[in-house]
Chain A
Amino acid sequence: MTERSQADIAPNRLTDAEIESNFGDMHTPLGQPEALVEADRCYFCFDAPCTTACPTGIDIPGFIQKIRSGNIKGSAHTILRENIMGGMCARVCPTEVLCEEACVRNTLEDQPVRIGLLQRYATDPIFESGLQLFDRSDETGKRVAVVGGGPAALSCAHRLASLGHHVTVLNEAEKLGGLNEYGIAAYKATDNFAKAETEYILSIGGIDVRNGTSLGRDFSLADLRSEYDAIFLGFGMDGVNELGMDNDQNDGVIDAVEYIAELRQADNKSTMPVGRKVLVIGGGMTAIDIAVQSKKLGAEEVTIAYRRGQHQMNASHHEQEFAQTCGVNIRHWLAPKQLLLDGERVNGIEFEYTKLDAEGKLTGTGDTCVVKSDVVFKAIGQNVLWSDLGDTADVLDVSNGRIRVDENRKTSLPDVWAGGDCIDDGEDLTVSAVQDGKLAGIDIDRFLKQT
């Protein structure tokens, strides 16, 4: 039996100063001189490809022109009127596959306008000052329940409130913000930005928040339908996909989402226990985030193992590169086969190599290898935990385990809309969730004005 010490999984691997530096702002914000020069690089394209590429359709050349002319308030309004979470999206959007990938500057010089950083430049002063850019229309007397506290729910709530409706937000967690508050990597949303943004959204008025209330436990969809004029469901996904190994129910096999949430909420991040050797199973943003943050907490060796190739990873190439720069080793074509234990403790995983067969289907090659680790994080996706949601699934059309909606984010019920991660085809991005909430809000407004 190998000698193991408690120290293989331990907190305080780094000094407080190292932790503070590691979890500092990932991107240095642009100062005014830099922002003005960057804004000048925008060609002010007609029917701009960047705007088309933005899930929320922000008029990007329009807001950049306003930076150029020193009209920062107007610039922020241009952004936030399409995307009330434009501040967070400026931090977390994979711009390299959205607006910045579409930038025509790529054609000749491979150097897009740094749209994400400009968006942050325009919006940061608004959240810092709390300057209210939005008016509420006259009260309509209509009441809408919004279930959830994440980007989709808050975007919908803000849109409805601005249109004069009264909104009640029913949020299961103790804090608003959803994954912005509990999920996003800490170094992307420093200085409690998620909280500042949430407070800004609520400051428009007309939004009541009830935290710690849960659909299925405290009320049913039927209760809401009888009490409110319309309902928006944005409760996200609480279930975690399992690795599917026989023996993976072990304390050393940790749900990455849960760990990240704890890390985000920790006042002192150095108290988080972290392994010397960390193994992450998955290929999306959660895998990248847990791997990088483990490294930043002081893990010595961090490996991401993904069962397909680099190009199939959900995490963008830019994010993969970022993780590698942080010292994370990314390995492809490895499927977990069995958890290796040393007594009760995790000691690693035996993987089977994979490949695509002639039909393009993923198959094992029969060859195996072992990656040693002290902890294993599962980050292979989430699912809607219907079992906790009462009869919700029975009364709604569901496809692929998620709620089916139309292009206006309306469900199969006439007074229920949905958006964010809990809808089918949900794109797993903050910006898409914000758009869901916005579109639903606009459609709910149409509906309420007819009734």
Chain B
Amino acid sequence: MADLSSEFLGIKSPNPFWLASAPPTDKGYNVNRAFEAGWGGVVWKTLGEDPPVVNVNGPRYAVRHSNDRRVVGFNNIELITDRPLQVNLDEMRQIKKDWPDRALIASVMLPMNEETWAKHVPMIEDTGADAFELNFGCPHGMSERGMGAAVGQVPEYLQRAAEWCKKYATIPVIVKLTPNVTNILLPARAAIAAKADAVSLINTVNSIMRVDYDTLSMYPTTDGMGSHGGYCGEGVKPIALHMIAEISRTPDTASIPISGIGGISDWRDAVDHLALGAQNVQVCTAAMVYGFKIIDDLTDGLSNFLDEKGMSSVSDLVGKAVPTVTDWKYLNLNHVDKAYIDQDLCISCGRCHIVCEDVSHQAITNTLNGERHFEVIDEECVGCNLCVSVCPVQDCITMRPLTEGVDPRTGRKFTSEKANWTTHANNPLRENK
């Protein structure tokens, strides 16, 4: 059986699944339950200076449901911890004492002055926490006060605050990044410049869930008014994966360890994060929706997957997919895929035909000799994968690479030579012009 034990910045945990800084890690009671359920570590709900913040007494959460009321997207306007600092510190100290084999990370959010950091960092470290995580990501509420995403969106601020933390801490410092930026490499570089030990990403995405269809006010509201929140859950995973991959594959950022966060609902999502360069992962929304028991599938599923792949530990998986991520301009333009429909699996729903017909390349038939029949017309198929994407039957439509002969669409002969945009004749800026 694969070894799930994890070491991130030298911090050991029995598995690579930490609970992200959020409501599930708000207090000792919850964290005890999480550890009893088997979670590898927690990032304690973000600490701030006293007096504690206050939350609204109306809805903090709103979700997008599927028709069977499955939660497919989640949004919140909860702030950082609203309990006195000392209460949190006492509980953290006790938790670390009771669960020495689990990771305990202190998430912090402090204003932009060095004295505050100088005062708080040693106090917090004294709980026995294994590391700091700097919350430069919360996109609501705290950002209006010049903290959270307001810091994370300005690389200079991020660097300065991270440097203060590093200055007063003896334990590792993780900088948590906001996705509400145009280029994730800029805050990542700022974290590196501040000599942060790692980055974690992503925090939540600026969002308004919907309107109330009766009142035509935004939904939800507190006494008739609402405020944007942070979006999370399975819908944000692709955004997280892109940002993690960018940091992992860019030479000057590639070496910083990453804790992956964003839309991890099951073990496959964790595989995505790890293979694209995260060394461990953090989970919140799935626990918010189902409770702590989901850790069973996360660990069990990952362990079975590693076994199947012949990998003995999580670290074997980390970064495996990174070399396959590149710029568009380096994609091989000589490669030709054609869709292929397995007639034995086809249930004749016709969805492949209608999407190809309406919005793509008119490359799928709908009849053959007057009978309902769906088949790819190789002369028209550009290999776009839309039919594969909409087909309700798994593996019924597959993409098959051309490996010999002529592409009937272009009349071009198959070649194993690669050629990309950088040298393409249509590229006015091509190399070797």
The smallest C-beta distance from A67 to any residue of chain B, in angstroms, reads 9
Interface contact B67-A104, CB-CB below 8 Å: no
Q: Which residues of A sit under 8 angstroms from B384, Cβ to Cβ?
A: none
Interface contact A104-B68, CB-CB below 8 Å: no
Given contacts A46-B366, A49-B372, A108-B393, contact A40 B68 (CB under 8 A): yes
B392 at the interface (CB under 8 A from A): yes
Interface contact A37-B67, CB-CB below 8 Å: yes
* Residue among A33, A45, A49 facing the most chain B CB atoms (10 A cut-off): A45
A43 at the interface (CB under 8 A from B): yes
Q: Which residues of B sit under 8 angstroms from A33, Cβ to Cβ?
A: 68-69
B residues 318-364 in Cβ contact with A at 8 Å: 347-351, 353-354
B369 at the interface (CB under 8 A from A): no
The smallest C-beta distance from A117 to any residue of chain B, in angstroms, reads 16
Q: Which residues of B sit under 8 angstroms from A39, Cβ to Cβ?
A: 67
Interface contact B347-A46, CB-CB below 8 Å: no
Interface contact A107-B348, CB-CB below 8 Å: yes
Q: Mark A13-43, 1 if CB is under 8 A from B, else 0.
A: 0000000000000000000010011011001
Nearest B-chain residue to A67, judged by Cβ: B67
Interface contact A36-B349, CB-CB below 8 Å: no
A68 at the interface (CB under 8 A from B): yes
A44 at the interface (CB under 8 A from B): yes
Interface contact B68-A44, CB-CB below 8 Å: no
Q: Which residues of B sit under 8 angstroms from A37, Cβ to Cβ?
A: 67-68
Nearest A-chain residue to B67, judged by Cβ: A36
A246 at the interface (CB under 8 A from B): no
Interface contact A104-B66, CB-CB below 8 Å: no
A223 at the interface (CB under 8 A from B): no
Q: Mark A391-408, 1 if CB is under 8 A from B, else 0.
A: 000000000000000000
Q: Which residues of B sit under 8 angstroms from A68, Cβ to Cβ?
A: 67
Which of A36, A40, A46 is B350 in contact with, Cβ under 8 Å? Answer: A46
Number of interface residues of B (CB under 8 A): 15
Given contacts A36-B68, A40-B68, A68-B67, contact A47 B366 (CB under 8 A): yes
> What size tier do the contact residues of chain A reach?
10 to 19
* Residue among A43, A46, A48, A68 facing the most chain B CB atoms (10 A cut-off): A46
Interface contact A43-B67, CB-CB below 8 Å: no
A residues 281-298 in Cβ contact with B at 8 Å: none
Interface contact B69-A104, CB-CB below 8 Å: no
Interface contact A46-B351, CB-CB below 8 Å: yes
Which of B66, B347, B372, B393 is A47 in contact with, Cβ under 8 Å? Answer: B372
Q: Which residues of A sit under 8 angstroms from B354, Cβ to Cβ?
A: 46
Interface contact A46-B349, CB-CB below 8 Å: yes
A residues 98-118 in Cβ contact with B at 8 Å: 104-105, 107-108
Nearest A-chain residue to B68, judged by Cβ: A37
The smallest C-beta distance from A52 to any residue of chain B, in angstroms, reads 9
The smallest C-beta distance from B246 to any residue of chain A, in angstroms, reads 35
Which of A36, A43, A46, A47 is B392 in contact with, Cβ under 8 Å? Answer: A43
Q: Which residues of A sit under 8 angstroms from B392, Cβ to Cβ?
A: 43
Which of B67, B347, B350 is A107 in contact with, Cβ under 8 Å? Answer: B347
Q: Mark B118-149, 1 if CB is under 8 A from A, else 0.
A: 00000000000000000000000000000000
Q: Which residues of B sit under 8 angstroms from A40, Cβ to Cβ?
A: 66-68
Bound CA span A37–B351, Å:
20
Interface contact B351-A45, CB-CB below 8 Å: yes
Given contacts A36-B67, A46-B353, contact A104 B347 (CB under 8 A): yes
Q: Mark B373-403, 1 if CB is under 8 A from A, else 0.
A: 0000000000000000000110000000000
Bound CA span A351–B68, Å:
54
Q: Which residues of B sit under 8 angstroms from A47, Cβ to Cβ?
A: 350, 366, 372
Q: Which residues of B sit under 8 angstroms from A46, Cβ to Cβ?
A: 349-351, 353-354, 366
The smallest C-beta distance from B415 to any residue of chain A, in angstroms, reads 36
Bound CA span A281–B366, Å:
46
Nearest B-chain residue to A34, judged by Cβ: B68
Nearest B-chain residue to A106, judged by Cβ: B347
Bound CA span A33–B66, Å:
11
Bound CA span A105–B67, Å:
19
The smallest C-beta distance from B351 to any residue of chain A, in angstroms, reads 6
Extra inter-chain contacts (9) besides given A46-B349, A46-B350, CB under 8 Å: A36-B67, A36-B68, A37-B67, A40-B67, A43-B351, A45-B349, A104-B349, A107-B347, A108-B347
Sorted from nearest, which 4 A-B pairs have the closest CB atoms?
A46-B350, A46-B354, A107-B347, A36-B67
Interface residues of B (CB under 8 A from A): 66-69, 347-351, 353-354, 366, 372, 392-393
What are some 26 contacts across the A-B interface (CB < 8 A)? Answer: A33-B68, A36-B68, A37-B67, A37-B68, A39-B67, A40-B66, A40-B67, A43-B349, A43-B392, A45-B348, A45-B349, A45-B350, A46-B350, A46-B351, A46-B353, A46-B354, A46-B366, A47-B350, A47-B366, A47-B372, A48-B350, A49-B372, A104-B348, A107-B347, A107-B348, A108-B393
